[in-house]
Copies of this chain bind each other. A is one copy, B any other.
Amino acid sequence: MVGAAYDILRRRILSNELPPGARFLEPELAQQLGMSRTPVREALIRLEAEDLVRIIPRRGIQIAPVTAQVMEEIYEIVTALEAAAARRLAYTPTPARLAPLREALQRMDAALEDGDLDAWGEADEAFHRALITQAGNERLAATALRYRDQVGRARTVTLRLRRELRKSNRAHWALLEAIAAGDSDRAGRLHRQQRDRATEELLTILGKERNEAER
């Protein structure tokens, strides 16, 4: 049941069904989930370790807020870890490892032709997840993916991003090329540049939002 509680709560938080900043009590959640407090409590401890909730001693829990600062911090972490993944992948760029990246990139190109923004976003996401997982550092991947999941919480915002898809696709291809060529320094640098640009854009939008966290 811990697993169920964890999965459900995590999904609800990441989808903003449980709104950032909201507060809950254990009995409340336990009843909603149809189990006793024990497994809920254990799930909450895990979620706190992932920065998805904050346990306020003796007075319940709070869904982690989504402020511009939080998102910036998370983006910086993801960027650093993905760049490291790119570098690492460039050390052992086997065809098998590069295939998922190449495939995602082709989908990005196709989506660009079709003007299908949703498909483009999904393929982009797939590219980055492939980059993270194919690099071969499990701990790094776990950490990076966990933080990456959180980025989706600002989706209402992300959707408003006016990206230059063509330019972005080209940048991704360049990255893949550097990796395939085994040029780890170039791969790391390219990735960082690319992400830094995206970060800045995202934060501009988030900054305008003035997302408030209570208390």
Pick from B50, B79, B138: contact of A84, CB below 8 A.
Answer: B79
When distances are taken between beta carbons in the complex, the residues of chain B under 8 Å from A79 are 84
Given A45-B45, A77-B139, A79-B84, output 13 extra A-B contacts at Cβ < 8 Å: A41-B42, A42-B45, A46-B49, A73-B137, A73-B138, A73-B140, A74-B139, A76-B84, A76-B88, A76-B137, A77-B143, A80-B81, A80-B83
Number of copies of this protein chain within its complex: 2
Pair B140/A76 contact, Cβ less than 8 Å: yes
Does A109 touch B at the CB level, under 8 Å? no
| Binary contact track A83-116/B, C-beta < 8 Å → 1, others 0 | 1100010000000000000000000000000000
Q: Name the prevailing secondary structure of the A interface residues.
A: helix
Smallest beta-carbon distance A145→chain B, Å: 13
Is A177 located at the chain interface by the 8 A CB criterion?
A: no
Q: Which of B72, B74, B76, B137 contacts A77 (CB 8 A)?
A: B137
* A143 CA / B49 CA spacing, docked (Å): 10
